[in-house]
């Protein structure tokens, strides 16, 4: 038996197998419940334990409330619309041309609607 | 010259039974949101063809199931100088988490669909010795110099054993053929012997590293010192049977079991490194590594080094 074999066997007889740590799936979020990242690693910050399916879907269109994932169902639609009172003065026939308010113009305004 | 941004290529994550595949898939999708996954296709040839089928771009990037790419890879541009480059398969190096080796095994690759659909490897061998075990002897299969990923073949005892066993076999071969005992030292490329020795001795510092070492030693032993048909190494079913025959045996026993014969009959250094020594080796091995450019081939560097 070589020296190296002896050294190895001495080591191996006292070898402690690492504990098998079951994989846990986590969704890290900021304090407001907005998702930051899905991970199986121990990172710093707020997190909730989630299922493997939730981990696989890795859906960022969710919010965390009461330690549970809630799908965001609100659809927010942003759209430029003409407005009589406020907005940016644009050429009456071309919205891409910005003009002064004292020139012929139409006002356009960015609106946000939720459904 | 044709330039292709890697970010414009389809990227296929090819998985089979790797224990870490779900975790890696999430990480890869965070890195490469356009990545697609091909899962559970048995056999290397069939799996590569399924990956080609999944790709919507003629050239695509392939990520093996136990590999995690470096994010910067996807910001690079492939500069294809001539028609050979347009057809070629590129295989970049990967860092091996178990033993620190840095070569093509488990690394990122870039294929063309045409090449995959036309290739005959492993299960679909055309009878040439070279293609019976490995497809890296195709003249359009290019080993690239740079390293852009890490391979983690140690997610479970079986995965670690299998990774070691396969390399323990393949690193013995001379262009896909088993050399005789007399030819072993002369015919097997020196780099293969270096890699083989590291597989045989390094990795006790990581989970299941002992299984990778035991697998590598067993693979070399069975290939060179028994009449086992080394071509079985490409069959997952055959590997499964070998694994079943040793499952439950302490890997430490296997490591010691093959030590004397590998040393005396093949003159291979059997000098296993304990965990701290393995860690030290990996820290310093290739410690000054520098990439030279995504299109630089290994052969280009060898030519430059040797003054061809």
Enumerate the residues of chain A whose CB falls inside 8 A of the CB of residue B256: 5, 8-9
Tokens of B215: 């697998």
**What average pLDDT does the segment B279-287 reach?**
93
The set of residues, in sequence order, having a beta carbon less than 8 Å from that of B223 and lying 6+ positions away, is: B168, B169, B172, B173, B178, B230
The pLDDT, as a whole number, for residue A115 is: 54
DSSP one-letter code for B230: G
pLDDT bucket at B306, cuts 50 / 70 / 90? confident
B279 in A contact zone (CB under 8 Å)? no
User: Which position has the token pair 């995690």?
Assistant: B68
Nearest-angstrom CA–CA distance, B132 and A111: 65
The pLDDT, as a whole number, for residue B121 is: 58
At residue B21, does pLDDT exceed 60? yes
Residue B99 CB neighbour total at 10 angstroms: 31
Nearest-angstrom CA–CA distance, B167 and B105: 9
Average pLDDT, chain B: 91
Nearest-angstrom CA–CA distance, B168 and B179: 14
Sign of CA dihedral B194, B200, B201, B207: positive
B29 in A contact zone (CB under 8 Å)? yes
**C-alpha Rg value of chain A to the nearest Å:** 29
At residue B127, does pLDDT exceed 60? no
Nearest-angstrom CA–CA distance, B29 and B66: 15
Rounded to 5°, the CA angle B56-B58-B61 comes to: 80
**What average pLDDT does the segment A12-32 reach?**
86
The set of residues, in sequence order, having a beta carbon less than 8 Å from that of A12 and lying 6+ positions away, is: B210, B252, B255
Interface of B with A in 136-155 (CB under 8 A): none
The pLDDT, as a whole number, for residue B125 is: 54
Beta-bridge partners for A4: none
The pLDDT, as a whole number, for residue B129 is: 54
The pLDDT, as a whole number, for residue A26 is: 93
A55/B26 CB distance under 8 A:
yes
Average pLDDT, chain A: 88
The pLDDT, as a whole number, for residue B133 is: 45
Tokens of B25: 């898939």
A37/B30 CB distance under 8 A:
yes
The pLDDT, as a whole number, for residue B204 is: 96
At residue A25, does pLDDT exceed 60? yes
A2/B274 CB distance under 8 A:
no
A1, A2, A3, A4: best mutation site toward chain B, by most B Cβ within 10 Å? A4
Q: Which has the minimum average pLDDT: B3-7, B106-110, B283-287?
A: B283-287
Nearest to B216 by CA among B197, B239, B200: B200
- Tell me which of B35 and B307 has the higher pLDDT: B35
The pLDDT, as a whole number, for residue B51 is: 97
B272/A8 CB distance under 8 A:
yes
Alpha-carbon gap: B164 to the closest alpha carbon of chain A (Å):
19
Alpha-carbon gap: B118 to the closest alpha carbon of chain A (Å):
34
pTM tops 0.95, yes or no = no
**Residues found in chain B:** 308
């Amino acid at each position: 038996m070589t020296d190296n074999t002896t050294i190895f066997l001495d080591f191996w007889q006292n070898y402690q197998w690492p504990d098998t740590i079951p994989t846990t799936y986590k969704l890290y979020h900021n304090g407001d419940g907005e998702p930051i990242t899905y991970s199986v690693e121990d990172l710093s910050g707020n997190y909730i334990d989630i299922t493997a399916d939730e981990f696989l879907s890795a859906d960022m269109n969710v919010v965390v409330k009461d330690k549970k994932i809630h799908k965001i169902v609100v659809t927010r639609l942003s759209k430029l619309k003409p407005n009589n009172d406020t907005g940016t003065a644009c050429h009456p026939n071309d919205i891409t041309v910005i003009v002064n308010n004292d020139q012929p113009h139409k006002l356009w305004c960015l609106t946000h609607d939720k459904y | 010259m044709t330039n292709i941004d890697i970010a414009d290529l389809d990227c296929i994550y090819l998985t089979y039974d790797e224990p870490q595949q779900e975790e890696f898939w999430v990480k890869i999708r965070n890195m490469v949101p356009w990545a697609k996954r091909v899962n559970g296709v048995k056999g290397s040839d069939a799996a590569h063809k399924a990956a080609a089928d999944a790709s919507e771009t003629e050239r695509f990037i392939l990520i093996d199931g136990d590999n995690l790419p470096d994010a910067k890879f996807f910001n690079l541009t492939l500069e294809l100088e001539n028609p050979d480059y347009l057809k070629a398969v590129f295989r970049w190096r990967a860092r091996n988490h178990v033993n620190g080796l840095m070569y093509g095994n488990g690394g990122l690759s870039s294929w063309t669909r045409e090449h995959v659909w036309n290739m005959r490897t492993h299960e679909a061998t055309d009878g040439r010795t070279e293609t019976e075990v490995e497809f890296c002897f195709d003249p359009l299969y290019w080993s690239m110099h740079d390293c852009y990923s890490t391979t983690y073949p140690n997610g479970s005892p079986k995965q670690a054993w299998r990774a070691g066993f396969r390399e323990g076999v393949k690193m013995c071969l001379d262009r896909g053929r088993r050399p005789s005992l007399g030819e072993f030292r002369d015919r097997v490329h020196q780099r293969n012997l270096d890699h083989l020795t590291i597989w045989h001795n390094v990795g006790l510092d990581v989970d299941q590293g002992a299984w990778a070492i035991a697998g590598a030693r067993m693979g070399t032993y069975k290939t060179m010192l028994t009449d086992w048909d080394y071509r079985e190494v490409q069959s997952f079913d055959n590997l499964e049977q070998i694994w079943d025959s040793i499952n439950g045996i302490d890997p430490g026993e296997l490591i010691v079991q093959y030590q004397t014969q590998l040393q005396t009959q093949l003159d291979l250094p059997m000098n296993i490194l304990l965990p701290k020594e393995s860690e030290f080796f990996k820290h310093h091995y290739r410690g000054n590594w520098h990439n030279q450019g995504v299109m630089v081939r290994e052969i280009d560097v060898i030519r430059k080094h040797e003054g061809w």
